[in-house]
């Protein structure tokens, strides 16, 4: 009988399904992979890319939907008897107002979760399809929903409430929720460890800069006190295709432009704005940065787009550093935060007032995508009062930890597992 | 020289006549309708125009051409500009012979915002620049006259002071019922909380300030509200009145000890603090802080609650003149 508990984590995207299998309590990785290009046929076929017990695999697979991707994942793991999971953890983008804690899923909880679909229409439907398929095909495996929103439950009322009439607030049920909490919480823990501080004493701004979504989190005493994202993941920073902030008057003009069609405005702001909208060429800020080094009108527009992207980062960094002052650290993470030194440098420019000073040489070498200095790394100068850290996020590990804790707290650790 | 100033006030207007550089007006008052003010024609008349878009980056001597250009801007700010055009036509009838100058609230920011092809990073939103241009979606603030005058005041104070004071980076906090914060470097604005119109930015006495853009869409889609209804809800029934369910002024809120007002006060102070942090980042530091607007005297409280624990030793200034006086100063030196 196994003495460890195998937790299989799913991180579900709109057309992908990442998985990682970890043995607890030692947190040893047994397998990882990603089902790519799930859905209708594209120029390239859907494929599975995985490392199973140290063995790299890549092959095309018929995965017309997320249920098929789940089945393929389980079939692949099933080839090795020791890799069967004992519990499942799901990255769940939105917990609405019902879910403040990571939750062991039963029929009632899943039914409640279905109600959050509309709050994150890009992310939640495929997550729920995977959860439902697991429930149907693997009913004995306990499932835990680990929420991106849960870390932000500590945001205080003065940062959470919108200055709207109670009539509108109550009818719409809107307040700031915040997202990317799994990543923010994980890197906050890593930063505290690096700084040799207890997490409960950490004051920091966590900058989760993904190639898709992005958000900052203000952290005081290890807890979230604010997020650049709001009730929805549209608000805040400039993202790959999301606009981030637009003031209400601008929104009203957009609505008039779209003849009061809120869906058309939402579609524009979620799918055709952000880096893609302002650059006109790519939704990836790395492409924009590369193109900005050229000459001609396209390069000029890309330079402007990069400035706009960076400007919003700097403006929000100032706001959040004022919130957490005196800060111990700024933490950069996820694809862009870990691999694009130019973004870190541009975001931290002119923050001397807050005690932030980047070491340009160290920062340039800290690039997780190249043969540079490995992460985590502190790229601030010695005299900088605030440490500037580049930390690799590990959402799957964080989800697995939360799953393990939720099972233990619910007294639901499967028999045969550890602990 | 007698300088007259006019500005819209509700459905009427306020007037103030200033003699040369004197601070106190020679006469002032309010009129609820478009009767001529009970004062002689001034030598020059400044009329406050709330919106000039990218079209006006400085005060403009009013003639037929300027009136036509303002008229073309009406779709971008229909309520304000329709009323001010009416006021201008009245004043031309009353004081036909005197020079009349349009002074724009947005001009201070429009210069920096509109000078480049795509707009400055501060002035635009992360949507396609072609759409920003088509819909005129530029962040131009709404208290530019007071910000500009307050920053000039600081510059004069610094010039007159002995020693090596510098005030190239000014945090300008305009405490009006719709408060606005700007960051000004060497006399040019680089950041402002105000947006395309008067609803966004900081929460005001009855305006919501910036909110998640999705909420506006939910009001339209989920609550079935029309654009004018949303505009009224967010611009008149929100902000402090929305949080408290009753009308209040910013000074009353800041001085209240009532438990029930504490959340609204905390929201207001928190948003001010964050905006000041943004301004500091935008400028790369702060040399001076200036408070203006009708609630400028709250400056010390704002400093204590929003700035003192993270801004070290900038110089603090108060600019206590009303907007009329600021307009008078602007037009007195205009060329013939």
Residue A353: its chain B contacts at CB < 8 A?
Answer: 280-281, 284-286, 311
CA distance B65 to A342: 47
Residues A104-122: tens digit of each pLDDT: 999 999 999 998 887 777 7
Residue A419 confidence (pLDDT): 38
Relative to beta strand A47-52, strand A28-36 is antiparallel
Strand, helix or coil at B245?
coil
Contacting residues for B303 by C-beta, under 8 A, at least 6 apart: B289, B316
- Alpha helical stretches, state H, B200-322: 213-221, 227-236, 239-244, 250-255, 262-283, 299-302
Q: Please determine, for residue A187, whether its predicted confidence score (pLDDT) is greater than 80.
A: yes
pLDDT per residue as tens digits for the range A67-81: 999 999 999 999 998
pLDDT in tens, A206-218: 999 998 899 999 9
Q: pLDDT grade, residue A1 (50/70/90)? A: very low
- ipTM value for the complex: 0.95
- Give the chain A residue whose CA is nearest to the CA of B195: A247
How far is B79 from B95, CA to CA, in rounded Å? 24
Distance CA A16, CA A117 (A): 18
Phi/psi-derived region of residue A327, left when phi > 0, alpha when psi is between -120 and 50, beta in every other case: beta
C-beta of residue B208 within 8 angstroms of C-beta of residue B234: yes
Whether residue A172 and residue B222 make contact (CB cut-off 8 A), yes or no, is yes
Cis peptide before A353 (omega within 30 of 0): no
Say yes or no to pLDDT of A304 above 70: yes
Cβ-Cβ contacts under 8 Å, B270 against chain A: 158-159, 323
CA atoms within 13 Å, Cβ hemisphere of A412 = 19
Q: Which residue has the tokens 């607030």?
A: A169
Give B-chain residues touching A166 at CB under 8 angstroms: 242, 245
Q: Across the interface, do B281 and A268 touch by the CB < 8 Å criterion?
A: no
Mean pLDDT on A53-70: 92
From CA B12, how far away is CA B19, in angstroms rounded? 24
pLDDT in tens, B101-115: 999 999 999 988 888
pLDDT of residue A416: 53
The per-residue DSSP string of A319-345 comes to HHHHHHPSPSEEEEEHHHHHH-HHHHH
Residues of A with active-site annotation:
148
- Round to whole Å and give the CA distance between B295 and B252: 11
> Would you call A249 and B243 a contact, using CB atoms and an 8 Å cutoff?
no
Cβ contacts of B164 within 8 Å, gap of 6 or more: none
Q: A248 vs A203, B191, B195, CA distance in Å?
A: 32, 18, 8
Query: Are residues B281 and A278, on separate chains, in Cβ contact within 8 Å?
Result: no
pTM summary value: 0.93
Residues of A within 8 A of B226 (CB-CB) are 260
H or E segment and range at residue B170: strand B169-174
Write the residue in A159, A238, A354 that is nearest to B126 by C-beta.
A238
In this prediction, residue A83 carries a pLDDT of 93
Place of tokens 């008229």: B71
Mutate to test the interface with B, among A175, A216, A259, A322 (most CBs of B within 10 A): A322
C-alpha span between B311 and A190 (Å, rounded): 29
Q: In what order do the strands lie in the sheet with A87-92?
A: A55-60, A47-52, A28-36, A17-24, A5-12, A87-92, A143-147, A103-104
Which has the closest alpha carbon to A288: A297, A272, A276?
Answer: A276
What is the per-residue pLDDT for A415?
66
- Counts of helices then strands in chain A (DSSP H, E): 15, 14
Q: Find where tokens 């990317």 sit.
A: A180
| A212-257 per-position pLDDT tens digit | 899 999 999 999 999 999 999 999 999 999 999 999 999 999 999 9
Is the bond into A298 cis (omega within 30 degrees of 0)?
no
Facing residue for B118 by CB, picked from A176, A265, A301: A301
**What is the reported pLDDT for A263?**
93
Tokens 């981030």 locate to: A244
H or E, element range at B182: strand B180-185
For every residue of A175-188, which 3-state class applies, written as one string? CCCCCCHHHHHHHH
Mean pLDDT for the stretch of residues A150-168: 97
Given a contact cutoff of 8 angstroms between Cβ atoms, the answer to whether A348 and A388 are in contact is yes
The answer to whether the Cβ–Cβ distance between B267 and A246 falls below 8 Å is: no
Q: Closest approach of chain B CAs to the CA of A199, in angstroms?
A: 22
The DSSP 8-state label assigned to residue B304 in this structure reads I
Q: Dihedral of the CA atoms A287, A288, A293, A296 (nearest 10)?
A: 120
Tell me how many residue pairs between chain A and chain B have CB atoms under 8 A apart.
239
List the strands of the sheet with A387-390, edge to edge.
A223-227, A214-220, A203-209, A329-333, A387-390, A377-378
Instruction: Residue A117: name the closest of A98, A144, A133 by CA.
Output: A98
Rounded-to-integer distance, Cα A252 and Cα A258, Å: 10
Q: Are strands A5-12 and A87-92 parallel, antiparallel or unpaired?
A: parallel
User: CB–CB of A263 and B243 under 8 A?
Assistant: no
Which residues lie closer than 8 Å to B77 by C-beta, 6 or more apart?
A: B50, B51, B53, B197
CB neighbour class for A149 (10 Å; exposed up to 12, middle 13-18, buried from 19): buried
- Give B213's Cβ-side CA count (13 Å radius): 30
Q: Which parts of chain B sit beneath pLDDT 50?
A: none
pLDDT of residue B150: 96
Q: Which residues of B touch A158 (CB under 8 A)?
A: 263, 266-267, 269-270
The confidence score (pLDDT) of residue A418 equals 43
Rounded distance, CA B175 to CA B288, Å?
16
Residue pLDDT, tens place only, A380-404 = 999 999 999 999 999 999 999 999 9
Please indicate whether, in this complex, the C-beta atoms of B310 and A322 are within 8 angstroms of each other. yes
Residue A190 has pLDDT above 70, yes or no: yes
| DSSP labels, A147-200 | ETTGGGGG--HHHH--SS-HHHHHHHT-------HHHHHHHHHHHHHHHT--GG
User: Does residue B31 contact residue B12 with C-beta atoms inside 8 Å?
Assistant: yes
């Amino acid at each position: 009988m196994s003495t460890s508990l195998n937790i299989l984590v799913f991180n579900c995207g709109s057309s992908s399904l990442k998985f990682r299998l970890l043995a607890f309590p030692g947190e040893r990785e047994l397998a990882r992979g990603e089902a790519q290009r799930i859905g209708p046929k594209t120029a390239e076929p859907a494929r599975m890319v995985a490392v199973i017990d140290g063995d790299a695999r890549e092959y095309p697979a018929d995965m017309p939907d997320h249920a098929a991707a789940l089945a393929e994942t389980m079939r692949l793991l099933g080839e090795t008897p020791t890799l069967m999971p004992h519990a499942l953890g799901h990255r769940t983008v939105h917990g609405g107002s019902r879910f403040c804690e990571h939750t062991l899923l039963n029929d009632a909880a899943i039914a409640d979760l279905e109600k959050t679909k509309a709050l994150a229409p890009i992310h939640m439907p495929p997550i729920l399809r995977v959860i439902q398929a697991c429930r149907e095909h693997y009913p004995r495996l306990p499932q835990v929903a680990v929420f991106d929103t849960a870390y932000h439950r500590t945001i205080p009322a003065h940062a959470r409430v919108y200055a709207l009439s109670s009539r509108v607030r109550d009818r719409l049920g809107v307040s700031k929720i915040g997202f990317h909490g799994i990543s923010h919480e994980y890197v906050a823990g890593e930063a505290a460890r690096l700084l040799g501080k207890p997490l409960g004493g950490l004051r920091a701004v966590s900058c989760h800069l993904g190639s898709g979504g992005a958000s900052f989190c203000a952290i005081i005493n290890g807890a979230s006190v604010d997020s650049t994202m709001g009730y929805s993941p549209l608000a805040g920073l400039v993202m790959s295709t999301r606009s981030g902030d637009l003031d209400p008057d601008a929104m009203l003009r957009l609505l008039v432009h779209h003849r009061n069609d809120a869906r058309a405005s939402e579609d524009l702001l979620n799918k055709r704005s952000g880096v893609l909208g302002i650059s006109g060429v790519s939704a990836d800020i790395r492409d924009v940065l590369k193109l900005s080094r050229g000459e001609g009108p396209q390069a000029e527009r890309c330079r402007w787009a990069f400035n706009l992207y960076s400007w919003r980062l700097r403006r929000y960094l100032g706001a959040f550093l004022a919130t957490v002052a005196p800060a111990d650290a700024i933490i950069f993470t996820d694809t862009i935060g870990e691999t694009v030194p130019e973004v870190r440098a541009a975001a931290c420019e002119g923050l001397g007032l807050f005690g932030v000073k980047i070491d340009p040489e160290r920062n340039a070498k800290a690039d997780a995508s190249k043969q540079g200095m490995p992460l985590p790394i502190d790229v601030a100068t010695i005299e900088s009062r605030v440490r500037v850290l580049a930390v690799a996020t590990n959402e799957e590990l964080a989800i697995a930890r939360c799953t393990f804790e939720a099972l233990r707290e619910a007294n639901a650790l499967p028999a045969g597992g550890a602990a | 020289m007698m300088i007259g100033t006019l500005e819209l006030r509700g459905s009427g207007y306020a007037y103030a006549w200033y003699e040369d550089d004197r601070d106190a007006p020679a006469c002032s008052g309010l009129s609820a309708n478009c009767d001529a003010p009970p004062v002689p024609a001034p030598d020059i008349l400044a009329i406050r125009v709330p919106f000039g878009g990218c079209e006006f980056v400085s005060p403009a001597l009013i003639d037929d051409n300027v009136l036509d250009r303002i008229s073309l801007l009406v779709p971008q700010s229909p309520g304000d500009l329709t009323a001010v055009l009416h006021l201008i036509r009245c004043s031309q009838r009353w004081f036909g012979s005197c020079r009349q100058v349009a002074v724009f609230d947005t001009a201070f920011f429009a210069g920096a915002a509109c000078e480049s092809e795509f707009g400055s990073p501060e002035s635009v939103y992360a949507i396609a620049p072609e759409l920003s241009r088509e819909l005129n979606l530029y962040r131009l603030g709404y208290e530019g006259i007071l910000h500009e005058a307050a920053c000039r005041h600081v510059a004069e104070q610094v010039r007159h002071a002995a020693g090596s004071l510098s005030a190239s980076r000014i945090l300008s906090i305009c405490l009006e019922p719709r408060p606005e914060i700007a960051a000004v470097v060497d006399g040019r604005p680089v950041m402002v909380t105000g947006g395309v119109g008067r609803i966004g930015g900081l929460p005001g006495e009855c305006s919501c300030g910036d909110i998640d853009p999705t909420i506006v869409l939910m009001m339209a889609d989920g609550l079935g509200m029309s654009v004018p209804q949303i505009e009224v809800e967010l611009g008149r029934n929100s902000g402090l009145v929305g949080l408290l369910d009753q009308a209040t002024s910013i000074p009353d809120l800041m001085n209240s000890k009532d438990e029930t007002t504490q959340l609204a006060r905390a929201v207001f102070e928190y948003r001010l603090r964050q905006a000041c942090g943004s301004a500091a980042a935008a400028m790369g530091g702060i040399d001076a802080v200036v408070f203006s607007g009708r609630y400028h005297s709250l400056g010390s409280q704002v400093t204590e609650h929003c700035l003192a624990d993270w801004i070290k030793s900038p110089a603090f200034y108060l600019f206590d003149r009303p907007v009329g006086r600021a307009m008078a100063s602007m037009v007195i030196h205009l060329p013939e």
